[in-house]
Copies of this chain bind each other. A is one copy, B any other.
């Protein structure tokens, strides 16, 4: 079923508030990063924060609506906004993982970790791993690191090749971090835990 304007604006209000929170943490500097929520499946529709705006000052209406390939989709009662190129990757992440919320932020830790461990960031025996759905003991976790690209199809292919259903995060080297969750709140918590883990890994290397 097609999403309504109310569905999009409801998601938009949540996404705007969450983006302001991430901005205050310094994780969406400039106009970087974008957040999305699935507003319909079959066909897939996502509300995604619009391109080029300050992520600390979004309103509920500052959202693009896209389909499975990131293409803009018109919704009655919603002024269409241009999606960022990365909206297509959000859609692909949502389709692949089944997650209803996707977070993409430009955290310094993610890019530093991607440089230090281009083959993936290995983590184990840390309580905070429970915060991303893994075990605190005897569980080898690898946050995948994929090479950056401006070609979203290529980047999506790399994402799919690296994707591990047990690990809700992927680092894009020289770029930033993708995380996801069943809800936007869950994606927030995953993002915070991944950031903690990466900061720990960098501080103790």
Contacts and interface: CB of A to CB of B under 8 A. Distances in A.
B148 A137 contact: yes
Contact of A193 (B30, B115, B200): B30
B108 A199 contact: yes
Residue of A127, A131, A190 with highest tally of chain B CB at under 10 A: A127
Nearest to A111: B200
A128 B32 contact: yes
Nearest to A106: B128
Nearest to A189: B30
A84 B7 CA distance: 34
A200 B30 contact: no
A45 interface: no
Given A112-B203, A204-B115, A190 B30 contact: yes
Residue of A30, A106, A131 with highest tally of chain B CB at under 10 A: A30
B174 A126 contact: yes
Closest 3 CB pairs of A and B: A30-B131, A127-B175, A29-B192
24 contacts: A29-B128, A29-B131, A29-B195, A30-B128, A30-B189, A30-B196, A31-B131, A32-B128, A32-B131, A32-B193, A54-B189, A106-B127, A106-B128, A111-B200, A112-B200, A112-B203, A115-B204, A125-B174, A126-B175, A127-B172, A127-B174, A127-B175, A127-B176, A137-B148
